[in-house]
Structure 1
Amino acid sequence: MPHTATQEQSDTVNRGGFQIFRTADAPSLDETAHMDVADMTPELEAGIGVALEAGFAEGNVVKTLFSQPGFSLTYAWFKSGFPLPLHTHDVDCLYYVVAGSLQLGTETLNAGDGFFVGANKAYRYTPGPQGAEVLEFRGQENFDIRFLAKTVPAWQKIAGAVADRCPDWANESPPSAAKA
């Protein structure tokens, strides 16, 4: 019986081989279902809905570049000023800034910089004026996201920031495109 491409990729990974991946062909993180929203409540769901209605999804592109049991690599492009909510993941995360910049607390990180966030440690960052492209390395294929903004009013504040930025996002390109 012939192998499908998916079977061949899986067999290659399982044999300790190698696999090529291409960003252009990568599915969205949502399509892969590798990230679950933890502690979903009706109020949190309603709050996220308010942010989505304001254009939250227009401010980011997140793709799963590679995943297998015990490892995942995600590409994320957050457009300028995207209000990334305070959140945690249940696994350690290592971030590498590919292009653009971001503000993490009092630190400004630029292309070539990075940061580590341990499992269940709360964080957020704000993309700079050209946005930020990051690679996210995790020691698990599947992980969760736990938003610390759990009320509709908290998400309405996020939605207000989205509404302010959304008109500019339509014309933005990834910061790495400026290098081309």
Structure 2
Amino acid sequence: MAIRVHHEDRLTWRKMGDIPMGWMRDHIDPTELEGHLSFHEPGGANRMQLMEMRLKPGTLIAPHAHDEDEIFYVVEGALHWQDKTLTAGGSLYIPAGTVYSFRTGDTPARLLNFRARADHSFRPAA
């Protein structure tokens, strides 16, 4: 396997609201649809996935879970989860199947999301 380099100015960014989501759209807060994402690495069955999200202030990530463990790393801004606030340099590990939700702070947020393999699962909270 070859080493791949991802230059920031060459990433493909998509507005989340422009991505076809089908039934999932009904379970996503409208503020999240205003955000943008880019896959540095799309991942595969045995390849890591790295996604970057750029979210507006006050964006709500509605309660949901995924099939894979994931780590959020705060590059810029803040992430409010339960009674905790994570700022740049902070991270949040979320085990597979764990329902979570968070809101961004008063300034734009830039987050990195790491997963061990490609995972586009989405399980909204009941």
TM class, shorter-chain normalised? 0.7 to 0.9
Whichever structure has more strand as a proportion of its residues is: 2
The count of corresponding residues between Structure 1 and Structure 2 is 121
What CA RMSD, in Å, does the superposition of the two structures yield over aligned residues? 2.8
Report the alpha carbon displacement of residue 30 of structure 1 after superposing the two structures with TM: 8.2
Give a deviation string over 1:94-114, Cα, whole Å, max 9, x none.
Answer: 111000111111001000000
1:111 aligns with 2:96: no
- Normalised TM-score (structure 1): 0.58
Structure 1's consecutive aligned runs of 4 or more residues displaced over 6 angstroms after TM superposition are none
1:18/1:132 Cα in 2 relative to 1: closer, same or farther (>3 Å)? Answer: same
Kept after mapping to 2: 8 A contact 1:96/1:112: yes
Corresponding residue number in structure 2 for 1:148: 125
Whichever structure has more helix as a proportion of its residues is: 1
Mapped partners of 2:3, 2:59: distance in 1: 35
Q: Which has the larger radius of gyration?
A: 1
1:117/1:56 Cα in 2 relative to 1: closer, same or farther (>3 Å)? Answer: closer
| Secondary structure of 1:143 counterpart | coil
- Unaligned runs of 5+ residues in structure 2 are none
Report the alpha carbon displacement of residue 84 of structure 1 after superposing the two structures with TM: 1.3
Corresponding residue number in structure 1 for 2:33: 57
- Unaligned runs of 5+ residues in structure 1 are 1-14, 150-180
